Amino acid sequence: MKINNLNRYSNNKRRRHIVIIVAVVCLSTISYGAYWYFYQQNKDDKPVLTLPDRQVGETNYSHPNKDEQNPTFDNDDNNQKKLTPQQNAPATSPIPVSITRVDRSPLQVGVIINELLSSGTCTLKLSKPGLSDITQTVEIFNGPSYTTCRGFSIDNVPGGTWKLTIIINSENRSGSTSQEITI
């Protein structure tokens, strides 16, 4: 009688172990299958665009990273007009130029030239009645689809209201823009 009860106990225990092992194998297989299915479904999706953590309208004036210096386009047939140096610009037309930013202490000025220029200079001129003009000249710099000035930085500008003028010279053409700034 004891041997019969012992076998029954041993068989019940063995059955439990087998059921647990089968359940673990089934759950593992189902989990792996679900993972594989969803991974294959999302594999061809385009990556999610992540934006830097800054407020709307805030501009990043730091140095461009490698991708920003040399952008690539997925589709060259996207009807974007590709500019070439001095494209369709009559020899007498003024060079279109805009001041994009003015930072103080030291005075730093950002400029965008709305066409590609092959060579030239940018001159910053600060004028204030009763004081000598402050000037600084830098070379132009070509980006992927624009031209800008290499960068202006002037230390120790006396406080007050100044007339800021940017003058662009390239071959036989020029352009300028002015605005008043308070330092």
pLDDT at 83: 47
Report the distance separating Cα 18 and Cα 21, nearest Å: 5
Report the distance separating Cα 81 and Cα 166, nearest Å: 27
**Smallest Cα–Cα separation from 92: which of 21, 179, 181, 171?**
171
Report the distance separating Cα 164 and Cα 68, nearest Å: 29
CATH no. for 84-182? 2.60.40.10
Domain boundaries, the chain: 1-49, 84-182
pTM for this entry: 0.50
By residue count, the chain amounts to 183
pLDDT at 12 exceeding the cut of 70: yes
pLDDT at 77: 47
Q: What is the mean pLDDT of residues 149-175?
A: 88
| pLDDT tens figures, 18-74 | 999 999 999 889 888 877 777 665 555 555 545 555 555 556 666 666 666 665 554
